[in-house]
Every structure is written in structure tokens, then in C-alpha cells.
Structure 1
Amino acid sequence: PDASSLGFYPKDYDMCPQHKEKLKLFCEDDQELICLICRDSNKHKNHRVYPINEAARYYKHELALMVESLKKKHVHHQIIKANYEENLTQLMDEVSLTEQRIGRVFVHLHEYLRLEEENIMQELHNDAWQHFTVLEEIIMQLAFESTSISDTIQSVSEDLTQEDAIIFLMVRIRMAISDPKDVSVKIDGAKYKFLMLYNSWKKMVNEIGFNTASLSLDSDSAHWNLLIFNNMTSVTYSHNLKKPPSKTSRFSVYPFVLAKQGFSSGVHYWEVFVGCKADWVLGVTKQSVQRKAPISLAPQDGLWTLEKKGRHYVANSVPHVVIFSGFKPKKIGVYLDYEAGQVSFYNADKMNLMYTFKDTFTETLHPLFSPGMNFTPLRILHVNP
């Protein structure tokens, strides 16, 4: 059936409204149906004009291609949607598991702290009881001596009436009485106000199973323009250093230095004071990293690093991720979970996550530091309890 019989269009839908001629052509330039007279008019002069059936076949083909493209986009959107839904489910599961873990940890910590409180209180009471016993013994001794002194006073008062000088002096010699000692018994304030609480805190950190890494810089790995000082915990760039002997362990291209400590298992955390430095690089690197030739700072070369370049923070992933942030952290925290394949960087001033790398580690990892090519130092902060 034609369109007019279906009631969609008027009966003369295929007629030119201007010339009342059959519409037989399609003007590509004006995107409209025209008749033969329209084609010869000035309006459509030199335009690209095609027979209607040919134009219809062309646009049907174009439309079919568009439909195929839309189908592919639809499938792609469905896949992306499914990925996000899976991500949402995983996130909800992760939140639930994390909530449970936090709950278990705090239940354990509450019980641990309760027992620690009981132990400290018991030790305080034991110390106090020992002091009480000493004081009671002293008080009893003083009471006995006080009674003895009262008796002596009465006896001496009677002896004062003795008129025989020899007898009086003999009695006087036997009257020697020692003075009581002034004894001060106190609780060890430092022990209970600080030392035992500090010890409990250290044990609590161990209860959590969290290792705050105590790091020192490895001078044998340091680029020759780096000066290490402050008990091997600070590093700065300098142009005035004498070039040290070449070593296979020394970085010769980039101003890098590694920590002496390496990790092949476990969870570790350390903090670095960066202050207001404009440039620095922090992270971890595999022990076998290339030290004598140019490399990227990315995981494919065995480095998982966060870098500051001027006002921007850049995670050296593939591709690089620029971290836009209104804050300027003075301290950067680095968290390494070896088994989970995770390296995370935090604004340690507020404990806000900046970026996380996920990977698989197969060899020992060393903390990496670079103060950039400026003279303000980086400083490792020892956060061990």
C-alpha cells in the first residue's frame, strides 16, 4: 500500500506543491524532494540532484550502517553498564567486608584495652599496696617510739630531782634516743602517666598488625648530586659535591636514592616531609630497576611513583594521571601491601587518599626518594611507636 492509502499523508503527497508535477528527484544540497521543473529552476541550478529511488537506496544504506553502529554502541553501553554494576556490587561488598573487619578490629582493641587497663590498674594497686605496707610499718614503729618517748619523758622528769651527781650522769648516758627518719613514699608518676601507656600503645599497634617502617637512606644507591644527612634520613640536591666512585647500585641518570630496607612481604607504611617543595618523586621500585640508563617512572619499568611537578601532582601510571587537589600536603604517606599488590599515596596531614597502584609484585621492593633538582630537602619521618 502507498502512504496515502494508510492515511499518513494526503493523496497528492508525491506531487510538487509548487508546480503540481510528480516528485521524481532529490536535491542533495537542499535535502528536499523536487520535480523536473524545480531541477531546471535557478533555485536548484548546479545542485547535486539524484533520482528518488537512487537517493532512497543511498540513504537506506546509510541508515542501515547507522543502525549497525548504534547496535554496536548499544552493546558497548550494555557492557559498560554491566561493568559499572559489577563495580557497584564489588564496592558494596568491599564496604561490607571492610565494615566487618573494622568492627572485629575494634572489638579486639576494646577487649585488649580493657585487659590493658586491668593490668595497669592491678600493677598500680600492687605498687600502692607495697607502699601502704611500708608506710604502715613506719607508722607502727613511730607509734611505738612515741610511747617510749612518753615513758622516757616521765622517767627523765623524775630523774631531774636526783641530787646525787654521779647517779644523775649514769642515768643521762642511758637516755640516748635516735631521731626518726623523714621517709617520703610516692607512686612513680612517670611510669603510670606516660611509660606504661606508651608501652600499651606500642603493643596496640602490634595487635593491629600494622608495620610503620623505620627507614634509612642507602648512600650507595644515591645519585652523586644528592647529599644525605641527618642520620641518613634527609636528602637534598647539590651542585657542589665531589663525584663518588662509580657503583653498580648507584643511580647515574636521575637524582634518586633508595632506602636500605627492602620488602618482599607484609604491610608497611612510612611518611615523608615534603614541606613546600615544588618538585619531588616518592614511591617504591623493584630491586633490579635500571640505574644507568633512562627509564620511565611507571610500573612497566618497575617503579610505582607519585611526583610533584610545580603545582600539579602526577601519578606515573600508564597513562599518567594528574591529581587535581586544592590542598598542598606537607607530609606524604606511602602504604605498601605486598601480597595485595597495592601501593597507595596519602596526604598524611589529613589521611586523604591521593592515588593507588594495583599490580603483582615478584621481587623485593625498596622505597624510592628524589628531592628533584632543588636544594630544599626531603625528610623521612619516623612514625614508629
Structure 2
Amino acid sequence: MNLKAKKSKLHCEKHQEELKLFCKTDKKLICLICATGQQHRSHSLMLIEEAIEFYKEQVKSSFESLTEKESEIQKIEQEQKESISGVQEESHNLQSQITSQFAELHQILTDKEQRLLGDVREEEEKIIKSMEKNLQGIQENLKSIQEELSKLQDQTDHKNGLIFLKTYS
């Protein structure tokens, strides 16, 4: 055996023997002397090469299982992202629809407001025209009464009673 091969082998710290066995119970490498000792006598033991193959198979199996789970989770993740996008798109469409409908309602209300304001102004003009006509008649009547009062005042202001009686009759 050459020097490099000997150095690459692992040795028991307790017995300085080459580690050739693996204790499955304690999950550690042991030498032949340790295997026959009290501490490992009832434990499940196997050759290092067998243990390496056994645990490589377990790791490979775990790796394959995790790879499969990873693939499933990535699929679920993609589905969730698509669901999120779908909800966002629906929400944006609904918001656009609401905005559009309210814009229509605002226009309808604005049109109705303008019609009602126009109707009120029109009615106001009719009423005011009628009232101004009445006011003109009242003012003419008042003017006529004031002219009559002025005449009567002039008559009563005459000092001469005969002239007063003459104009009065």
C-alpha cells in the first residue's frame, strides 16, 4: 500500500485502526475493534461501501422526491400567479366599467340640471313679464290718482271760495 492511499484512509481516534464499518444506530464510522466492543455490540452495522451506497440511494430518493415536490409547487405557484393576474384584470375591467357608467350618469344628470335650470328661467321670465305688466298698470293707476290728488290740492289751495265752488262743481 502506498503512502498516499494510507493517508487518505480514515482512522479511529480511540484505536488508531482503519474505519471500515458504519454504525447505523449511532450514524458514525467505526473500526473493527469498536464494533466488537460493548458500545456497538447490539447496534446495526454495515460496511462503509454499503453504507455509502445505501445513503446515496436515500439521498437520491429524497432528491427525486423533492424535485417532484418542487415541480408541483412551481405549478401551484404559476397557477396562483395566474389567478392573481386574473383577479387584477377583472378588477381593472370592473373599475373601468364603473367609471364609464358614472360618467354617463353624470352627463345625464348634467343634462337634466341644464333642462331644469332652463325651465326655471323660462318660467321666471313669464312670471316677471306678467308681474311687470301688472306693475305698469299699477303705476299708471297711481299716476292717475296722483294727478287727481294734485288737481284737488290745487282747488283746495284757492283762497277764493267762489272759484273753489265753481271748479268743484
Partner of 1:115: 111
Q: Do 2:9 and 2:18's aligned partners in 1 also have CA atoms closer than 8 Å?
A: no
Aligned residue type for 2:86: Q
Distance, in Å, in 1 between the alignment partners of 2:106 and 2:122 is: 24
Distance, in Å, in 1 between the alignment partners of 2:101 and 2:130 is: 43
Select the residue among 138, 154, 157 that pairs with 2:134.
Answer: 138
SS of the residue 2:46 aligns to: strand
Distance, in Å, in 2 between the alignment partners of 1:13 and 1:77 is: 42
**Unmatched runs of 5 consecutive residues or more in structure 2:** 157-163
Distance, in Å, in 2 between the alignment partners of 1:148 and 1:129 is: 28
Select the residue among 84, 90, 94 that pairs with 1:88.
Answer: 84
Select the residue among 96, 99, 110 that pairs with 2:95.
Answer: 99
**Which structure has greater helix proportion?**
2
Partner of 1:52: 48
Select the residue among 33, 39, 45 that pairs with 1:43.
Answer: 39
Q: Do 2:10 and 2:19's aligned partners in 1 also have CA atoms closer than 8 Å?
A: yes
Distance, in Å, in 1 between the alignment partners of 2:34 and 2:8 is: 17
Q: After superposition, what is the alpha-carbon deviation per residue over 1:271-314, rounded to whole angstroms, capped at 9, x for unaligned?
A: xxxxxxxxxxxxxxxxxxxxxxxxxxxxxxxxxxxxxxxxxxxx
SS of the residue 1:43 aligns to: coil
Structure 2 residue 158 is the aligned partner of structure 1 residue 162: no
SS of the residue 2:33 aligns to: helix
> Identity of aligned pairs, percent?
25
TM-score (norm 2): 0.76
Number of positions where the alignment pairs a residue of Structure 1 with one of Structure 2 = 159
**Which structure has greater strand proportion?**
1
Distance, in Å, in 2 between the alignment partners of 1:142 and 1:131 is: 16
Partner of 2:60: 64
SS of the residue 2:22 aligns to: strand
TM-score (norm 1): 0.37
Distance, in Å, in 1 between the alignment partners of 2:39 and 2:137 is: 131
Higher relative contact order (CA 8 A, sep 6+): 1
SS of the residue 1:50 aligns to: strand
Q: CA deviation at 1:103?
A: 3.0
Distance, in Å, in 1 between the alignment partners of 2:94 and 2:86 is: 12
Structure 2 residue 126 is the aligned partner of structure 1 residue 127: no
Q: CA deviation at 1:111?
A: 1.9
Q: Flag the structure with larger Rg.
A: 2
1:7-22 aligned within 5 A:
11-22=7-18
Q: After superposition, what is the alpha-carbon deviation per residue over 1:222-256, rounded to whole angstroms, capped at 9, x for unaligned?
A: xxxxxxxxxxxxxxxxxxxxxxxxxxxxxxxxxxx
**Unmatched runs of 5 consecutive residues or more in structure 1:** 169-385
Aligned residue type for 2:123: D
Q: CA deviation at 1:115?
A: 1.1
SS of the residue 2:149 aligns to: helix
Distance, in Å, in 1 between the alignment partners of 2:153 and 2:95 is: 84
Aligned residue type for 2:165: Q
Q: CA deviation at 1:159?
A: 6.4
Distance, in Å, in 2 between the alignment partners of 1:112 and 1:45 is: 95
Partner of 1:213: none
Q: CA deviation at 1:113?
A: 2.8
Aligned residue type for 2:69: K
Distance, in Å, in 2 between the alignment partners of 1:63 and 1:19 is: 31
Structure 2 residue 81 is the aligned partner of structure 1 residue 78: no
SS of the residue 1:128 aligns to: helix
Aligned residue type for 2:28: E
Select the residue among 141, 148, 165 that pairs with 2:144.
Answer: 148
1:273-284 aligned within 5 A:
none
Q: CA deviation at 1:163?
A: 6.5
Distance, in Å, in 1 between the alignment partners of 2:27 and 2:90 is: 56
